[in-house]
Structure 1
Amino acid sequence: MHIAIATTEFVTEPTFSGGLSNFTTNLAGILRNHGHQVDVFVVADTDEVFIWEDGIRVHRVKYRKEIEELKYIPLSRLRRHALTVWCLWGMSYVINRKIKEIHKETPFSVIHFCDSAILWACCPGSIPNVLRLSSSPYLVRRALVSGELPFDYDAALKSRDLQERIYDFELRKMKTIIAPSYLVGGVIEKKLGRRVTVVESPFCTDISGMDNTLYNEKLLGKKYFLFFGTLNFLKGIHVIGQAIIDIFERYPDFYFVFQGRDSKLSWKGQELTGKELLKMFAGKYAERIIFLLPISEKKQVYGVVSHAELVVLPSRVDNLPNTCIEAMALGKVVIGTRGASFEQLITDGYNGWLIERDNPSSLLEKMDQAMRMTEEEKVLFGERAKKRLKQMSPEEFYKKIMDVYVGAMEGQ
């Protein structure tokens, strides 16, 4: 097959980070390893074509990034949404124009849109296509807003602004939709009545040969709990923050390590960064919080993860996060949120622990249960976690994604 992958993130780009870029990179590699011709189309600040990794052709497609600039322009909410949609459509137009140009030279069997910025909006109807939902904008946008009030899942599904109406309109046009989690797939089925096929993302990461340089420099000799990911309400740092004094008092020999990108937040009318909010919550124990900057070298991340006592990921909403998968692959005991897609990976009390959303008391309870485990029990949890990930092997993923592609081509 000749397969086009359309995305806003790829490993070759300066903005490479997070689940979407990891997925698109793994997808391209798996398809190429099975003999398919792969072209990746990625939004960039320049036009360029080059060959990456054993014959994968990457097309950088130039598009001015007005969306980022909109953050700093004083606009009414309606105008901001309207301009954002206009920019997203423009991004879709330039990507699909380039795809059609290449299609005339060497026809594509299928286009795989990796969901971000409604890139599929201007897709050519004559080419079979597949859309992968990398998140649910209905849930994510509202989970980011405030940590003071509990996140209301049902209200998030009912609320619809202009941008989401456009998203719904464009989504209805897609014939084949997949998602890595039942949570995200279920949202689309509930809102739009569309069938979504769940295809879990492949786990392709080599965790051998980890690099302990950062661990030795910052954490050697320290016992610590670990959160890694973006410091925002979506990822649940307010849940850890509200429990952190109790955590430090119950476990006086432990630090709490936060590794990841900081973000600007608002808490009770006060503008703070994620780091500042956590320090505020910790009060007199603030010196027992250790912040590590985002790390581009994965093997150094694994060095930090492998020495953690527990990995704490209290996200409000997620989509089979790489942080959870990577920690499980390293045999760590992970605490995640029930109803946020973690339950697809974790069976509570069997290979990890699940807490209730936005609930610091639930987090404390599960941390206490985890800390009462013997070393033998922790090893057993880790073995079970690794066994679960075998279902996400590249070969299993390849079989499922090819079934999806063939179905899309036959239904065209």
Structure 2
Amino acid sequence: MSGRKIKIMYIITALGVGGAEKILLSTIKKLNRKIFIPYVVSLYQENTLADEFREYCDNVYCLGHYIKYNPLVVRKIRKIIMKVKPDIVHTHLPHATIWGRIAAHFAGVKVIITTEHNMSIWKKWNVPFYFLYRWTTKFTNRIIAVSRAIKQLLVDKFNVPPSKIKVIYNGIDTDIILNNAIVPNEVTTLSHPIIGTIGRLHKIKGHEVLIKSMPPIVEKFPKCNLIIIGDGVERVRLQMLAKKLNMEKNIHFLGCRHDPVGILKAIDIFVFPSIEEGLGIALIEACAFGKPCIASMVGGIPEIIKDGINGYLIPSNNPQIIAEKVIYLLNNPVECNLIASRNKLLVRNKFSLSAVVKEIETLYKQTIISFEN
């Protein structure tokens, strides 16, 4: 590869404001342009982050009328691959991974890499897609798992050789996040304490459990507010639940935001009640702000939160325990301060974006060298 730059084509389902999309954008921003040229293919129409991706990529292709289970999308991806001639195809998210791998394979791409952010969706897929994943993994050179929990699932459920998988945690740029965090006006008017959570409004994110935990918290702290950042199919049902519990004045649905870190800056406690989770970039961001965190003991979350040290791990689907932990932390500000300092140190040492991107770049170079040899 000496003498010319390495072309990398990232294939992802969409360019919205989800965790995987934000992680990919952050990675591309940090890539060494003296060595790598990034391209992006989105299976869907243009989304919120498309223009920002264009600022940092040689080209961005949005296919426009993507249908999840339509294999004809492979032809569209293959056509773009044949035009760009990337050295590496790197896929993200399930549908993009299946179709992107197949297109890259039949286009003759020598190095195919996949990042697995969260394996929960694979559990719901039908048998053909399970075998498609197994089959396409055979011609995938490396898989990046964003947590040890995901690596173990790949080995146990999909028979992926452990040597093919490398664990690289999600990273964040703490300098940018902390320096650019501006608390929005609608949050500055809220009374404290403020509890916050971030995530798409889907059942696996556990928002219902968090909402059900609010009545006993408000009973002890009547001015307490809960901020929910994110949108999705569950929004109307969750709003109705808040109203049913007489919590509509205390629970605020702020939808998808471009300024979630500003809201993180304002909150007092971060709750991450996921039922399934790969790692959780929002949880890492909350730790960067030194927020006491209460999070479900699922997936890769215990690789971030150590119970009683830098937060509290709880069983999923248990609103009573969430309420107990929130009330305990609100009554113990000294412990909150200790947790804050530990979380800030954790993020600097373990989840630095610069270190993560260097690991990914090294993997790219090593995989190409291994293939050529």
Normalised to the residue count of structure 1, the TM-score between the two structures is 0.77
Residue matched to 1:4: 8
Name the structure 2 match of 1:291. Answer: 253
Cα distance in 1 for partners of 2:51, 2:303 equals 39
Of the candidates 328, 339, 346, which is equivalent to residue 381 of structure 1? 339
The correspondence for 1:276, drawn from 226, 232, 240, is 240
> Given the alignment, which residue of 114, 117, 124 partners 1:134?
117
Q: State how far apart, in whole Å, the 1-side matches of 2:243 and 2:133 are.
A: 38
Partner of 2:101: 120
Question: In structure 2, what residue type is equivalent to 1:212?
Answer: V
Match of 1:357 in 2: 316
1-structure distance, mates of 2:304, 2:131: 32
Paired AA for residue 145 in structure 2: A
| 3-state SS in 2 of match to 1:230 | coil
CA 130–379 in structure 1, closer or farther in 2 if over 3 Å, else same: same
SS at match of 1:40: strand
Deviation of residue 322 (structure 1)?
1.9
Give 3-state SS (helix, strand or coil) of 1:287's partner.
coil
Q: Which runs of 5+ in 2 are unaligned?
A: none
> Structure 1 residues 275, 248: closer, same or farther in 2, change over 3 A?
same
Contact 1:228 1:323 (C-alpha < 8 Å) held by counterparts = yes
Work out whether residues 172 and 352 of structure 2, in 8 Å CA contact, stay in contact via their aligned partners in 1. yes
Q: Distance in 2 between matches of 1:90 and 1:63?
A: 13
Cα 1:174–1:385 shift into 2, 3 Å: same
Q: How well do the aligned residues superpose, as a CA RMSD in angstroms?
A: 2.8
Deviation at 1:227, TM superposition (A): 2.0
Pair 291,342 (structure 1): closer, same or farther in 2 beyond 3 Å: same
Q: Does the alignment pair 1:100 with 2:59?
A: no
Instruction: Output the CA distance in 1 between the equivalents of 2:214 and 2:45.
Output: 42
Equivalent residue, structure 2, for 1:331: 290
Partner of 2:196: 226
Distance change in 2, residues 1:397/1:327 (3 Å): same
Is 2:77 the partner of 1:111?
A: no
Provide the TM-score with structure 2 as the length reference: 0.84
Quickly say closer, same or farther: Cα 1:170–1:109, change in 2 above 3 A. Answer: closer
Residue in structure 1 matched with residue 61 of structure 2 by the alignment = 60
Give me the whole-angstrom Cα distance separating, in 2, the residues matched to 1:350 and 1:187: 27
Where does residue 401 of structure 1 map in the other structure? 360
* 2-structure distance, mates of 1:245, 1:185: 38
User: Which amino acid in structure 1 is aligned with residue 345 of structure 2?
Assistant: K
Q: CA deviation at 1:338?
A: 0.8
> Separation in 2 of the partners of 1:188 and 1:364?
34
Contact 2:6 2:87 survives alignment (8 Å): yes
Shift in alpha-carbon separation, 1:251–1:355, aligned structure 2, 3 A:
same
Verify the 8 A CA contact 2:11 2:89 in the aligned structure 1: no
**Which string of whole-angstrom CA distances, capped at 9 and with x for unpartnered residues, describes residues 311-364 of structure 1?**
111001112212111111111111111123211111111111111122223323
Return the offset for 1:392.
2.0
Measured after TM superposition, the shift of residue 27 of structure 1 is 1.9
Q: Percent identity?
A: 18
Equivalents in 2 of 1:192, 1:293: separation in Å? 35
Which amino acid in structure 2 is aligned with residue 23 of structure 1?
A: I
CA contact (8 A) 1:42 1:95 kept: no
Higher deviation after alignment, 286-295 or 338-347? 286-295
**Equivalent pair of 1:130/1:175 in contact (CA under 8 Å):** yes
Q: Deviations along 1:10-62, whole A, 9 cap, x unmatched?
A: 7xxxx52111211221221222455422222333548x9999436x3123143
Q: Secondary structure at the match of 2:205?
A: coil
Give the match for residue 37 of structure 2.
37
Q: What aligned pairs does 1:195-210 form with structure 2 within 5 A after superposition?
A: 195=162, 196-204=165-173, 206-207=176-177, 208-210=179-181
Partners in 2 of 1:197 and 1:45 — Cα distance?
31
